Structure 1
Amino acid sequence: MDWEQLLSLKRFGDTHKRLRNEQDETRLGFEVDYDRIVFSSAFRSLQDKTQVIPLSKTDFVHTRLTHSMEVSVVGRSLGRIAGQQVLQKHPYLKEVHGHRFNDFGAIVAAAALSHDIGNPPFGHSGEKAIGEFFRSGTGSTYQSVLSKKEYQDLIDFEGNANGFKLLTESREGVVGGLRLSYATLGAFMKYPKESLPKKPTKHIADKKFGFFQSEKQSFAEVAKELGLKVTGKDGSISFSRHPLTYLVEAADDICYTIIDFEDGINLGLVPEDFALEYLINLVKDRINTKKYRAMAYREDRLSYLRALAINTLISDAISVFIEHETDILEGTFASSLLDKGNFTAQVTDIIRVSKAKIYQSQEVVEKEIAGYRIISDILEVYSGAMVRKWEDKASNYDILLIQTLPPFYQRTDIPLYEILMSISCYVASLSDSAAVHIHNKIMGRQL
């Protein structure tokens, strides 16, 4: 892969190449991507979607919105630092094409800002609830009338693929979705493959999938424009990762490792003394002991250790990225940056504690169970009504239900797969509170 092609400013529908040298420095195309994401309704809904604790009543626990903003900030730093070193190694990018280190930061920041934009309510249990509905619930009856890949899209419903759909899907009068630059879309593509074959290799890019069958053509177009390496075999669609995806992933890994851990401490799920020991193990070579001991309040101690930990992991991720740049460009670097860093053991220890004390805590489990049921019930009611209308068998109740959907999701003059995917994406678009509200209505608990 070639950096010049990977930094493409092209957008959906462009007929002429966008040259970096012709860009307005006060409003660079990659920065326009960031703005468009911020003002999108899908991004706004993240303010009421679970990061760690579903339907949390506290004001300091992170939502998907605050998490995404923090990942974007870390991603911008990663991109700028990496950009400086890439430009030093490949000076023609600056001297001939006019690229600046800020270009890399802007691309990573925009992709990182949108990295969770397709996630359903109630955290990862939301994805599982949608998948289970089609795997073993009422939705399993549709398996016989769908292709294997279409059915796999539904039973392994993937927030990353839904995110790509949200960013690129055309609507009547609005072609190409948000029309982001292909460089940003490329950096967003964490798993550049379709749902089948499932995990064909141990390469991290094959861990999940990144687009539904409904978006495979637009996905392939972006990959071709960027010059991503084709990795699919026997007719399957699969590509190597965009190099900047590794930085987006690192930003996410850094934030959820450190900041989810901080949330657990603030909630009392992880004892402070116990937790601080783990953080200090990560930053012991950087900590100013005198400064740290002078801090009287837990919030200040946590803030100090958090900042040190994030900076430590940023530096570590950059070192791995630059060291393995050739392998990354060749598509042969098969793991995350943090998995090859100097602090893998410390990060693994923190994640292990977070899983035991936070993600599997009684509060989280109980709310995920409730969320699981809520999503399953909404899917069953709406998918049943839509399919019966598609079959011309809709009852008056079905018609009333369909009228409560946003107009974009009411279409039944499309293939069955697209109807089922549309309803799944509608459910995924709901915030936690909206899902609870709709569930109460359709169950007759609220008028």
Structure 2
Amino acid sequence: MNWEQLLSLKRQGDKGKRLRKEQDDTRLGFEVDYDRIIFSAPFRSLQDKTQVIPLSKTDFVHTRLTHSLEVSVVGRSIGRLVGKKIIEKYPHLKEVHGYQPNDFGAIVAAASLAHDIGNPPFGHSGEKAIGEYFKIGNGKIFQDQLSEKEWQDLIDFEGNANGFSLLSATRPGIEGGLRLSYATLGAFMKYPKESLPKKPTKNIADKKYGFFQTDKIFFEEVAKELGMISNKTGSDVGFERHPLAYLVEAADDICYTIIDFEDGINLGLVSEDFALEYLIKLVKDSIDTPKFNALTTKEDRISYLRALAIGSLINDAVKVFVENEELILQGKFPYALTEKSKYTVQMNDIIALSVKNIYQSREVIEKEVVGYQIIQTLLDKFITAFNNKFHGEASNYDNLLLKMLPEKFLHNDKESLYHRLLHICHYVSLLTDGNALELFNTINGRKKL
């Protein structure tokens, strides 16, 4: 891979190339990507979607929206620092093509902003709830009517693939979704493969999948335009990662490791003594002990350590990337950057404690159980109504249900069963935790009139 291709400003539908040296620096294309994402409806819905605690009413607990903004800030910093090193190493990128270090930051910031945009309500359990509706629930009746890869898309419903679809899928009057630059879409693609074969290697890029069968053609177009390296044979589609996808992943890893841990501390799920023991291991080289000792509240002490920890991890991620940049360009770096960090052990210790005390806490488990019931009920009701309408067999109840769908989801022109099923999965995935709960209560007759 080469950086000239990887930094492509091309957008879906473009007939010619967009050159960096011809860009208006006051309205750079990669910054336009950021703006389009932040003003989009799917991004706004993240304000009421779970990061750690579903349906939490505590003001200091992160939602998907605040998490995404924080990942974007960290990603921008990592991207700029890497960009500075890349421009120094390949000066023609600036001298001939006009690229600047901040371009890298802008791409990573935009992709980081969107990294959770496809996640359904109730966190990662929401993905599992959709998948299990088809795998072992009422949706299992559709298996024999779908291809193997279509079925895998549904039983392993993946927020990353859903995000790519939301960002890029065409619908009537809107060509190419948000029409983001290919560089930003490339950085967004953490898992640039289809759902089958499942985990064919231990390569980090093969851990999950990144696009539905509906989006395969455009996905391949983006990957080939960027010069990404194909790593599958026959009819299977998969590529080595865009280098900047490693930076997006690192920003996410840093934020959820440190900030979810901070949420757990503030909720009282992790004691301050544990927090100090774990975080100080990350910041022992940079901590100002007199300043730390002068802080009088737990919140201030944890906030100070969190800021230092994120700074340490940012610098380390940049170092790992730059040291392995040539291997990454060759598609020969099958790891997350944090796997090769000098802080890997410390991060794993924090994650293990978070899993035990936060992610598996009673409050989280109880709300995830409720989320399962909500999501599977909504899928069942709307899929039944949507298919009945398609076949001309809709009951009055089906028609009433369908009137509750937003206007953009009303079009029942999906000839393929797979497209219809995915259409309703898209709808449910865009609901916020609160919207999903309210809709569930309405359908079950629990809403006060």
TM-score, normalising length: structure 2: 0.99
CA-to-aligned-CA distance 1:70-97 (integer Å, 9 cap, x gap): 0000000000000000011111101110
The within-5 A match list for 1:199-278 is 199-278=199-278
- Runs of 4+ residues over 3 Å off in structure 1: none
Could you say which residue in structure 2 is the equivalent of 1:437? 438
Task: Output the amino acid matched with 1:435.
Answer: A
Task: Output the amino acid matched with 1:250.
Answer: A
Could you say which residue in structure 2 is the equivalent of 1:60? 60
Distance 1:401 1:71 in 2: 37
Could you say which residue in structure 1 is the equivalent of 2:198? 198
The CA deviation at 1:393 is: 1.7
The CA deviation at 1:105 is: 0.2
The CA deviation at 1:234 is: 2.1
CA-to-aligned-CA distance 1:245-285 (integer Å, 9 cap, x gap): 00000000000000000000000000111111100011111
Distance 1:399 1:206 in 2: 41
Distance 2:57 2:371 in 1: 16
Residue 311 of structure 1 aligns to a residue whose secondary structure is helix
Residue 243 of structure 2 aligns to a residue whose secondary structure is coil
Q: Are 1:171 and 2:171 an aligned pair? A: yes
Give ranges in structure 2 of 5+ residues lacking alignment. none
Residue 128 of structure 2 aligns to a residue whose secondary structure is helix
Distance 2:443 2:214 in 1: 29
The CA deviation at 1:409 is: 1.8
Task: Output the amino acid matched with 1:31.
Answer: E
Residue 117 of structure 2 aligns to a residue whose secondary structure is coil
Task: Output the amino acid matched with 1:122.
Answer: F
CA-to-aligned-CA distance 1:135-169 (integer Å, 9 cap, x gap): 01110000000000001000000000000000001
The CA deviation at 1:300 is: 1.1
Could you say which residue in structure 1 is the equivalent of 2:17? 17
Distance 2:411 2:352 in 1: 45
The within-5 A match list for 1:76-225 is 76-225=76-225
The CA deviation at 1:290 is: 1.2
Could you say which residue in structure 1 is the equivalent of 2:322? 322
Residue 76 of structure 1 aligns to a residue whose secondary structure is helix
The within-5 A match list for 1:364-383 is 364-383=364-383
Sequence identity of aligned pairs in percent? 66
Distance 2:411 2:231 in 1: 35
Task: Output the amino acid matched with 1:165.
Answer: S
Could you say which residue in structure 2 is the equivalent of 1:347? 347
CA-to-aligned-CA distance 1:357-381 (integer Å, 9 cap, x gap): 0000000000000001000100010
Task: Output the amino acid matched with 2:10.
Answer: K
CA-to-aligned-CA distance 1:221-263 (integer Å, 9 cap, x gap): 1101101001111210101100000000000000000000000
Distance 1:359 1:91 in 2: 46
Q: Is the 8 A contact 1:411 1:419 kept in 2?
A: no
Residue 244 of structure 1 aligns to a residue whose secondary structure is helix
Distance 1:48 1:317 in 2: 30
Task: Output the amino acid matched with 2:211.
Answer: F
The CA deviation at 1:200 is: 0.7
Distance 1:81 1:206 in 2: 27
Could you say which residue in structure 2 is the equivalent of 1:413? 413
Distance 2:45 2:89 in 1: 41
Give ranges in structure 1 of 5+ residues lacking alignment. none
Could you say which residue in structure 2 is the equivalent of 1:333? 333
Equivalenced residues, count: 447
CA-to-aligned-CA distance 1:326-368 (integer Å, 9 cap, x gap): 1100111011001101000000000000000000000000000
Residue 34 of structure 2 aligns to a residue whose secondary structure is helix
Task: Output the amino acid matched with 2:439.
Answer: I
Q: Is the 8 A contact 1:30 1:110 kept in 2?
A: yes
The within-5 A match list for 1:288-327 is 288-327=288-327
CA RMSD of aligned residues (A): 0.7
CA-to-aligned-CA distance 1:401-432 (integer Å, 9 cap, x gap): 11111122223332110000000110000000
Distance 1:310 1:278 in 2: 13
Q: Is the 8 A contact 1:295 1:301 kept in 2?
A: yes
Which has the larger displacement, 281-290 or 24-33? 281-290
